[in-house]
């Protein structure tokens, strides 16, 4: 019998009442949050206790593949855009829904229908308005959703195909999409729902992130081992950061000092000093690292490792890999859900 069930029975017998959320999961050991991982190969969302270092539950997304996940700010729900069984720009099925998962019951509780095949991919919550922004590749746009009513509120055109990933500024006014096949970045006015600019990067580009002060945008050239640095005041690439291998996911530390860069071909995470814009160390992780997520306390970073079905936990003080957490097949997108 699971531990939450035992506590439920004891509370009922002792106090004669049913405790709120009795059927939910135990909170993580620190009470801080859950690590969520999109297990592409299993069509599931994995829920990981980061302190115990294990996946405590998986939730079926409906038999179709979701690549990315976003957690609501209150930590109660997860939103998984259902992309389909293809790679970006490749033939395959075209997803048209977003799975809504209750993190207290580990259940799929709703499915938002987008109305037509769109290959929804990256989901990001607006930091100020709490709206959900999702890249919808087949309409060259970002779709805006009210996460409470699941109503579609509008779209923002990117002016480019294969708008795959999205980053949003701290004030919620600007968005930046990495447009894979065109090899560009679109700059968006999220309030006016307009495209401001399109910035050429390379023949193919992947993934995107913002520095914590919103001064820089980072995206990875897929033809050479280098990272583009975009000056957001100029909307142009102002420098390149040489790397050991082709880059993929990026994420800055919360203190603004470092940028972590996954390098799938060499199985490493590069650490870039954002003052000098140079790689200062390299950390070996399991094969094919994909996405990197910095925990809100800035103590730990998590890296999904596709080929090994694991998530690597990097200690941001020692730069060591402290844990390898087993996840599902083709582990990819990551999100942090605050416990409530």
Rounded to whole angstroms, what are the CA distances from 271 to 261, 281, 283? 6, 5, 8
Same domain, 187 and 86: yes
Rounded Cα–Cα distance for residues 98 and 83 (Å): 9
Rounded Cα–Cα distance for residues 153 and 7 (Å): 42
Of 215, 248, 281, which marks where a domain is finished?
A: 248
Same domain, 8 and 131: no
User: Domain tally for the chain?
Assistant: 2
Domain assignment of residue 327, yes or no: no
Same domain, 114 and 21: no
Same domain, 87 and 213: yes
Domain assignment of residue 294, yes or no: no
- 53 phi-psi bin (left φ>0, alpha ψ -120 to 50, beta other): left
Same domain, 5 and 113: no
Domain assignment of residue 70, yes or no: yes
Of 181, 216, 248, which marks where a domain is finished?
A: 248
Same domain, 119 and 9: no
- pLDDT for the residue numbered 146: 98
Domain assignment of residue 290, yes or no: no
Same domain, 80 and 4: no
Number of Cβ within 10 Å of residue 24's Cβ equals 15
Number of Cβ within 10 Å of residue 328's Cβ equals 20
Same domain, 14 and 149: no
Domain assignment of residue 302, yes or no: no
Domain assignment of residue 16, yes or no: yes
Same domain, 23 and 106: no
Per-residue pLDDT of the chain (340 residues; tens, 9 = 90+): 333 333 333 333 332 333 222 233 444 544 489 999 999 999 999 999 999 999 999 999 987 899 999 999 999 999 999 999 999 999 999 999 999 999 999 999 999 999 999 999 999 999 999 999 999 999 999 999 999 999 999 999 999 999 999 999 999 999 999 999 999 999 999 999 999 999 999 999 999 999 999 999 999 999 999 999 999 999 999 999 999 999 999 999 999 999 999 999 999 999 999 999 999 999 999 999 999 999 999 999 999 999 999 999 999 999 999 999 999 999 999 999 998 6
- pLDDT for the residue numbered 340: 65
Q: Please compute, for residue 105, the number of CA atoms within 13 A of its CA located in the half-sphere on the CB side.
A: 9
Same domain, 38 and 23: no
Same domain, 25 and 43: no
Residues 6 or more apart whose Cβ sits within 8 Å of residue 288? 264, 267, 305, 306, 307, 308
Domain assignment of residue 192, yes or no: yes
Domain assignment of residue 269, yes or no: no
Specify the CATH number for the domain of residue 218.
Answer: 2.130.10.10
What's the domain range around 13? 1-29
Same domain, 88 and 120: yes
pTM for this predicted structure: 0.90
- pLDDT for the residue numbered 14: 32
């Amino acid at each position: 019998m699971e531990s939450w069930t035992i506590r439920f029975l004891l509370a009922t017998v002792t106090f004669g009442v049913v405790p709120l959320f009795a059927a939910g999961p135990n909170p993580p050991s620190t009470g801080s949050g859950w690590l969520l991982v999109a297990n592409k190969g299993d069509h599931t969302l994995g829920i990981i206790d980061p302190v115990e270092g294990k996946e405590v539950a998986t939730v079926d997304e409906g038999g179709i593949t979701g690549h990315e996940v976003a957690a609501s700010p209150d930590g109660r729900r997860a939103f998984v855009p259902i992309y389909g069984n293809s790679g970006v720009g490749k033939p395959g099925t075209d997803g048209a829904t977003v799975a809504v998962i209750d993190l207290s019951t580990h259940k799929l509780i709703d499915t938002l229908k987008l109305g037509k095949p769109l290959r929804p991919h990256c989901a990001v919550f607006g930091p100020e308005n709490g709206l959900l922004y999702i890249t919808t590749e087949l309409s060259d746009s970002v779709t805006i959703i009210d996460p409470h009513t699941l109503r579609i509120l509008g779209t923002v055109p990117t002016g480019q195909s294969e708008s795959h990933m999205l980053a949003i500024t701290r004030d919620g006014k600007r968005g930046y999409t990495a447009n894979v096949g065109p090899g560009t970045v679109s700059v968006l006015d999220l309030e006016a729902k307009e495209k401001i600019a399109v910035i050429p990067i390379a023949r193919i580009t992947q993934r995107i992130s913002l520095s914590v002060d919103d001064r820089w945008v980072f995206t990875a050239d897929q033809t050479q081992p280098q990272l583009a640095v975009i000056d957001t005041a100029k909307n142009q690439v102002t420098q390149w950061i040489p790397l050991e291998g082709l880059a993929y996911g990026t994420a800055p530390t919360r203190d603004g000092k470092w940028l972590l860069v996954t390098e799938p071909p060499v199985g490493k995470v590069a650490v870039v000093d954002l003052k000098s814009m140079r790689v200062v160390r390299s950390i070996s992780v399991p094969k094919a690292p994909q996405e990197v997520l910095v925990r809100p306390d800035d103590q730990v970073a998590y890296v999904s490792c596709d080929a090994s079905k694991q998530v690597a936990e990097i200690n941001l003080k020692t730069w060591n890999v402290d844990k390898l957490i087993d996840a599902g097949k083709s582990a990819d997108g990551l999100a942090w859900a605050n416990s409530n």
